[in-house]
Chain A
Amino acid sequence: MTLHKHTLTELKALLDGGKVSARELTDTFLARIESLDGELNSFVTVTTEQARLEADAADAARSKGEAGLLNGLPIAHKDIFCTDGVRTSCGSRMLDNFISPYDATVVKKMRAAGAIMLGKTNMDEFAMGSSNETSFYGPVKNPWDLSRVPGGSSGGSAAAVAARLAPAATGTDTGGSIRQPAALTGITGLKPTYGTVSRWGMIAFASSLDQAGPMAQSAADCALMLQTMVGHDVKDSTSLDRTADDYLADLDKPLAGLTVGLPEEFFPASLDGRIAELTRETARELERQGAKVVSVSLPSVKLSVPAYYVIAPAEASSNLSRFDGVRYGYRCQDPVDLMDLYKRSRSEGFGDEVQRRILVGTYALSHGYYDAYYLRAQKVRRLISDDFARAFEKADVILGPTSPEVAFQLGAKKDDPVTMYMADVFTIAVNLAGLPALSMPGGAIDGLPVGVQLIGNYFREGQILNVAHRYQQATDWHRQAPAFGGDK
């Protein structure tokens, strides 16, 4: 078996056992990116020289007995995380020339643990999209079928991990941006409880929803990454100050006594029957391992897409007001006055979808509409959160599909925002409630991966990782790799 096929956990064992060096591993993945990413477009920036230096430093640290948890493991960062001295574009023309003067907390923590940064991955512009087609750097292709999208917004991270160009990557999830691309590319991705991972240095989209999380081949790999990513950060006022969990300790815990809730609203008549069946088959596997499956109800979840498309654009319109063409980022040519400078820098620097969302958000917050839109959406958000609280009285974890469909064709929804928004119909409610959730591969339809979503109660990342890990011990969907890159 060649090195690139191994999971992060297996690579860690090889490094810890002295079977491979960080440099050898890093060169393996850099070579794959070099030869294969031209077709995939999953990276915006490859930090080849820096990665080699970091790998040599990791090997030196190990030889001195100073290996951190992720020592020598190559990873990729979504280009939404600020990286000191390296371009941080957020998939936008606005930041095409932006060299960050500091590291995001997530980047700093992973660097301190010994991880090697291979580069920065492509994404929907400012994380606004579900197909990776809104990127200034062009769409990312799905390695399972190059005519299809990898999902979004963390589409570059997902495609890179699926094609084994990186063993793991970071992502961010505001309405499904880790879980939906994970589902569409056959990998495992986790969005933690809101406030668990610091948002400092992560370019803000919708601040009350944004969370960073791991994307990798398996639940065990995600646990390894998450262990390093979490922790209180005084630089993020929404970062929670609580005792650290051990996500690796309970991975193998048997599922006897576990109650799994299936929400009827996640299996509407309109859902592809094959996706519904694969999701139910996942529930049956958990039952075989001793879990009990019950039905739960989330009646207000049907309003999650409309609530999200008020709250997220409203917060985005405020967050993106910082891009003014004055202090950093894109500036238009020959502005006649300050107003012209603001307006043209922003309309030339932002793409269509970003501008649409800024306009929707500005409208929803404007005089006379605040109560009808923003305040009402915040109240609906409470109803959704209360639904989950009631469901968690009956069940320990909630199981459903991640995405209503498998990867769709490039261009299929590009010009129809509302249809595109429905790609996140099963993921958005989790962000509105601030809960942790993961997507894992649970089957395939016509050779394309299907993702299954596990939602946990607040701070129960360890529990959903445990359930996913047990499932992955009994099945091999997560070990399937696309033929792309010669891995069939």
Chain B
Amino acid sequence: MAIDQDTVLKVAHLARLHVSAEQSQALAGRLSDILNMVDELQQAEVDNITPLAHPLDVSQPLREDLVQPADLRDRVLPLAPASEGNCFLVPRVIE
């Protein structure tokens, strides 16, 4: 399936990627190449086949929901591009 520039721009917005109009043209070509290859899947006979999400079909293990000490603030906050006090800083969201 071919995808056009408008679709590229819509998907880029969903993925929170900045794509310019010029880039979207080249990307539409590349992504169409990939999707055309992927379209081979349409020839598969998959009626009544159960999708496989985990290779070993094991169930999700459950554990007690216990509070674990994880006092890493002093190590984690310095990794942020911008922080103040105990907060991450971002551009103003609420006027």
A binding-site residues for B, Cβ under 8 Å: 98-99, 101-102, 193-195, 208, 234, 237-238, 240-241, 300, 303, 305-307, 309-310, 317, 321, 324-331, 335-344, 346-348, 350, 355-356, 358-360, 362-364, 366, 372-373, 375-383, 385, 417-418, 421, 432-435, 458
Contact = CB atoms under 8 A, between A and B. Distances in A.
A192 B92 CA distance: 47
Given A195-B58, A303-B40, A326 B90 contact: yes
13 contacts: A208-B55, A234-B63, A237-B60, A240-B58, A306-B37, A327-B80, A329-B81, A338-B93, A346-B18, A359-B15, A376-B46, A379-B52, A380-B44
Nearest to B38: A306
Give the 5 A-B CB pairs with smallest separation, nearest first: A434-B55, A378-B51, A331-B81, A343-B18, A379-B46
B37 A418 contact: yes
A303 B41 contact: yes
Contact of B31 (A99, A359, A433): A359
Contact of A347 (B17, B42, B72): B17
B84 to A, nearest CB: 13
Interface core residue of A241, A344, A377 (most chain B CB under 10 Å): A377
Contacts of A327: 76, 79-80, 88
Contact of A325 (B7, B33, B60, B81): B81
Contacts of A99: 79
Nearest to B81: A331
Contacts of B80: 326-328
Interface string B19-46: 1000000010011011101111110101
B67 interface: no
Given A328-B76, A344-B18, A434-B55, 15 more contacts: A99-B79, A300-B44, A309-B34, A327-B88, A347-B18, A376-B42, A377-B41, A379-B44, A382-B49, A382-B50, A383-B46, A418-B34, A421-B34, A433-B55, A434-B56
Contacts of B49: 379, 382-383
A355 B63 CA distance: 36
B41 A376 contact: yes
Nearest to B55: A434
B37 A360 contact: no
Interface class of chain B by DSSP: loop
B34 A346 contact: no
Interface residues of B, number: 49
A208 B37 contact: no
B17 A417 contact: no
Grouping DSSP codes into helix (H, G, I), strand (E, B) and loop, the A interface class, with mixed when no group exceeds half, is helix
A310 B54 contact: no
Contacts of A195: 55-56, 58
Contacts of A380: 41, 44, 46
A470 B34 CA distance: 41
Contacts of B90: 326, 338, 341
A332 B70 CA distance: 30
B44 A359 contact: no
A341 B31 CA distance: 25
A421 B35 CA distance: 13
Interface in B61-95: 61, 63, 72, 75-76, 79-82, 88, 90-93
Nearest to B23: A347
Contact of A335 (B41, B54, B72, B91): B91
Contacts of B76: 101, 327-328
A322 to B, nearest CB: 11
A343 B17 contact: yes
B81 A208 contact: no
B52 A378 contact: yes
A417 B30 contact: yes
Nearest to B93: A338
A203 to B, nearest CB: 14
A380 B42 CA distance: 10
A194 B11 contact: no
Contact of A373 (B12, B41, B93): B41
Contacts of B75: 101
Looking at B38, B40, B53, B91, the one whose CB has the most chain A CB atoms below 10 A away is B38
Interface hub of B3, B18, B33, B52 (most chain A Cβ within 10 A): B52
Given A310-B41, A326-B90, A382-B51, A194 B81 contact: no
Given A99-B79, A379-B44, A417-B34, A355 B17 contact: yes
A305 B16 CA distance: 27
A318 B42 CA distance: 24
Given A241-B61, A342-B16, A359-B8, A373 B53 contact: no
B33 A418 contact: yes
